[in-house]
Structure formats: C-alpha cells, structure tokens
Amino acid sequence: MKKIILKCKLENRERFEDKLSDIDLDFGAIYWQHDRVYVPRGYRSNMNYPRLIMRTDLRAIDEPPKYYLILRRHIVDSGVDIVEETPIADYATTANIILQLGFRQAGEVSRRRQELSMGEGTAIYLDEIDGRDETYAKIESVLTDGDSVTEARSDLEQTLTTLGEHDIVNQPYIEIL
C-alpha cells in the first residue's frame, strides 16, 4: 500500500488536542507499541532501502499482544512510503528468518500511541517515544490509484498548519533516537 506520511514535533500537545476536539475529533485510548527495526547490510538513509519492522502491539493489559512484520520503503524522490504489514504468530522464528536473510537490527523504539481516524484512509497518531520528552504527531494518508502525491502531501501539510503545527520531522523515530 502506498502512503504519504508526515510527522511533526508538537509545540503544545494539549493545544493540538483541543483544536481537534473543537471540531469533534478525539483520540482513542492509549496503547503501547514496540518496534524492532531491521535494515539490510549497507543500509544508508535516503537511499530507498527497505526496512523490516517487527512490531509488538499491546492494546489492553487483559489481552495478549499482537505481532506484525512490516516492510517499509521510503521513496525519497516522490515522498511516498510503500508499506506492507502482515500479522505473525511466531515472533522469535520470524526475527531469526530476518537475520538469516542478511538484515541487521538497527535499533528499537517503544512508544505510547493514540490514534484518530479522519475518514477513509487518513489517520493522525500521537506518539510519546520512550527516552524523549517530546510528543510527535504523525499524519498519514493511503494513496489510491490516480491520487496525486503532490496534492495528498499538500493536504496533509495544510491539515498540520491548520492545527498550528509547522515543525515537520523527516527522520524515522529510530534515527531521532
């Protein structure tokens, strides 16, 4: 699936949430995610290389965690992210397969996340990254056939600007840490 993803460091989380609440949009419950990020040998930022992410998703303490393998490739020239996600049953075996394929673990990111759906294919996430004092807002939109990348990106930028945010961050969380 193709996505446009923008991330910004929030100046004031409460003000950001209030602006969304004023238009009857509220975030869901907080949940926890942990990502182990794997990159191919020879990986360099901004070179369109894929990253594999083993994600643990814990939505409620009385439910077992869910595990996902995510393939993410950021195409620098267009600003599009190619993202494929599949649930996995055996975390350890999948991690071992990734290593045998020649990927290396680049790091880990834990976060507390809230999400808000803004209609079909568009969502905003509030992320508090462990080890950082900042809160980040991540807005993403799924592209369908015929969608203009430029228009979709402009729409997301306009949404952030309307919400009073301008500090767009281009690095993935693993590089921010």
Place of tokens 């996430």: 125
Cα(54)–Cα(73) distance, rounded to whole angstroms?
14
Encode pLDDT of 16-66 as tens digits. Answer: 999 999 989 999 999 999 999 999 988 877 777 889 999 999 999 899 999
Return the DSSP state at 49.
-
Question: What mean pLDDT comes out for the span 76-80?
Answer: 82
Question: What mean pLDDT comes out for the span 116-124?
Answer: 90
Encode pLDDT of 4-19 as tens digits. Answer: 999 999 989 999 999 9
The distance from CA 21 to its chain's CA centroid, rounded to whole angstroms, is 22
Contacts 24+ apart (CB under 8 A), 40-45: 40/102, 40/103, 40/104, 41/102, 41/103, 41/104, 43/104, 43/106, 45/171, 45/175
Choose from 77-81, 115-119, 125-129 the range with maximum mean pLDDT. 125-129
Encode pLDDT of 155-172 as tens digits. Answer: 999 999 999 898 888 888
For the residues of 84-112, what is the DSSP string, one character each? EEEEES-HHHHHHHHHHTTEEEEEEEEEE
Nearest to 79 by CA among 165, 141, 121, 146: 141
Token pair listed for 16: 């950001």
Positive or negative CA dihedral for 113, 117, 121, 123?
negative
In the chain, the domains with their CATH numbers are 2-176 (2.40.320.10)
Question: What mean pLDDT comes out for the span 92-119?
Answer: 94
